Amino acid sequence: MADRVYLDWNATAPLRPEAREAMVAALDVAGNPSSVHAEGRAARAIVERARGQVAALCGCKPGEVVFTSGATEAASVLAAVFPHGAVCVEETAHDALWAHFELSHIGKENNVLAMGLANSETGVITEPPVKSEAGWPYGAYHARSLFLDVTQAVGRVPWSFHWSGADLACLSAHKIGGPKGVGALLVRDGLEIEPLLAGGGQELGRRSGTENVAGIAGFGAAAEASLRDLDAGVWAEVEKLRNILESSLASGAKETIFVGKDLPRLPNTSCLVTPGWKGETQVMQMDLAGFAVSSGSACSSGKVKVPRVLRAMGLDDRGAESALRVSLGPVTTEDDVLRFVEAWLKHENKFRQRAA
């Protein structure tokens, strides 16, 4: 396993050492964050420190951060806050948003436009619309509020909750090197929401349940490290490797296209389509060769369906079923990339020979 190369960072990022260290230390704190004694205050201090770290990464106030079990739970606020109003979900948004409301047209009485800032399958960045007096536009329709899924974008490209103008946003710790099973909902200061979970009233009444102190500690440490990497230009170096990957693949595979290549994209993501060569087949072949890649969002793996996002971007069924996603990270090396290129081109050549 030591020779394996991990190129599936959009599914989950490996746990950062800083996050692991923070989690181990938090596990030794016995108190409940809601208790007023010394042990409880110690646990509360860990949670609030992490809240500040996440807020710094996201460009918001600490009080606007609500800890959840992940971005999917945070997205459920759409149903909680707007149970009687139509929600327009942007066509290439993640299934976590589509699970609550399928695409609908916004009319005069509708409430929220929900969209992903960066697509997990292609890396394409969608520029949020500019708010007008009529609200947030989606085509000819307008909404009162904007919900942003920034799960893939935060920590990889500069983003601020405040300058985005969004009212709500969601993210997950494990995409930035934190632990799985913890995330956050960002709620604009002054906006009232229904509790995500009813109960003891934790998180200022917005999400009940005893806080996952260790997970939150890891989230905070990962957020701090992610901000440091972003400021240091680490992802610009990752983008250079992504470009080497694509140019090297393109030189040997003339029929392969790179989805969104001419659009603003995450610096680490490449979605390649070789028509007729199924993505799931490529994933298995690369896995046996020692490379972890994917054929789309990890949340959709194992489901027999044509990728909705790729269809929305104009690919036909044959092309959409042939997509392979390669996503790099800060510890990916040029040798990792070139080894993958060599292995992939070897199998691509075999595919073309069989198809001839």
Radius of gyration (C-alpha) of the chain in whole angstroms? 21
In angstroms, the CA 239 to CA 261 distance is 12
- Is 60 assigned a catalytic role? no
Same domain, yes or no: 221 and 266: no
Token pair, residue 7, equals 């190129």
CB atoms within 10 A of CB 300: 17
Task: State the pLDDT at residue 192.
Answer: 84
Of the pLDDT bands very low, low, confident and very high (cuts 50, 70, 90), residue 303 is very low
Same domain, yes or no: 214 and 305: no
C-alpha distances (whole Å) from 129 to each of 146, 148, 294 are: 9, 11, 30
Same domain, yes or no: 246 and 265: yes
Q: How many domains does the chain have?
A: 2
- 40 vs 317: which has the higher pLDDT: 40
The answer to whether 151 and 164 are in contact (CB under 8 A) is no
Residues forming a β-bridge with 169: 148, 186
Same domain, yes or no: 224 and 254: no
Of the pLDDT bands very low, low, confident and very high (cuts 50, 70, 90), residue 240 is very high
What is the rounded end-to-end Cα distance, in angstroms, of the chain? 35
Counting other chains too, the contacts that 339-345 makes at CB distance below 8 Å and 24 or more residues apart are 339/5, 339/291, 340/5, 340/7, 340/245, 340/286, 340/291, 340/293, 341/245, 341/248, 341/249, 341/252, 343/286, 343/289, 343/290, 343/291, 344/249, 344/282, 344/286, 344/291, 345/249, 345/252, 345/253
- 271 vs 142: which has the higher pLDDT: 271
Same domain, yes or no: 73 and 203: yes
Same domain, yes or no: 206 and 258: no
- 66 vs 93: which has the higher pLDDT: 66
Same domain, yes or no: 59 and 79: yes
In angstroms, the CA 320 to CA 303 distance is 14
- Torsion angle of the four alpha carbons 228, 230, 55, 65, in this order, in degrees rounded to the nearest 10: -130
Query: pTM above the 0.85 mark?
Result: yes
Of residues 60, 88, 170, 299, which has the active-site annotation? Answer: 299
pLDDT in tens, 131-143: 888 788 776 667 7
Same domain, yes or no: 226 and 263: no
Of the pLDDT bands very low, low, confident and very high (cuts 50, 70, 90), residue 105 is very low
Mean of pLDDT values over 62-82: 86
Same domain, yes or no: 116 and 37: yes
Residue 100 has pLDDT above 90, yes or no: no
Token pair, residue 83, equals 């149970």
Task: State the pLDDT at residue 302.
Answer: 46
- Torsion angle of the four alpha carbons 183, 188, 194, 197, in this order, in degrees rounded to the nearest 10: 20
Same domain, yes or no: 63 and 120: yes
Same domain, yes or no: 81 and 218: yes
Of the pLDDT bands very low, low, confident and very high (cuts 50, 70, 90), residue 43 is very high
Residue 304 has pLDDT above 50, yes or no: no
The rounded Cα 41 to chain-centroid distance in angstroms is: 32
pLDDT in tens, 220-232: 999 999 999 999 9
Domain boundary at 230, 247, 276, which? 230
Same domain, yes or no: 223 and 114: yes
CATH number at residue 97: 3.40.640.10
Domain boundary at 181, 204, 230, which? 230
State the DSSP H helix or E strand holding residue 288, giving kind and residue range, or none if neither: helix 279-289
Residue 333 has pLDDT above 50, yes or no: yes
Token pair, residue 186, equals 């960002």
In angstroms, the CA 249 to CA 260 distance is 16
Domain boundary at 209, 230, 251, which? 230
Supply the range of the domain harboring residue 221: 17-230
Which of 16-25, 144-153, 270-279 tops mean pLDDT? Answer: 16-25
Residue 157 CB contacts under 8 Å (≥ 6 apart), including other chains: 118, 125, 230, 235, 266, 267
Specify the residue for token string 């691509």. 348
pLDDT in tens, 154-207: 999 999 999 999 999 999 999 999 999 999 999 999 888 877 777 776 787 688
Of the pLDDT bands very low, low, confident and very high (cuts 50, 70, 90), residue 81 is low
Task: State the pLDDT at residue 10.
Answer: 96
- 28 vs 312: which has the higher pLDDT: 28
Of the pLDDT bands very low, low, confident and very high (cuts 50, 70, 90), residue 296 is low
Mean of pLDDT values over 250-257: 93
Mean of all residue pLDDT scores within the chain: 87
CATH number at residue 321: 3.90.1150.10
Residue 7 has pLDDT above 60, yes or no: yes
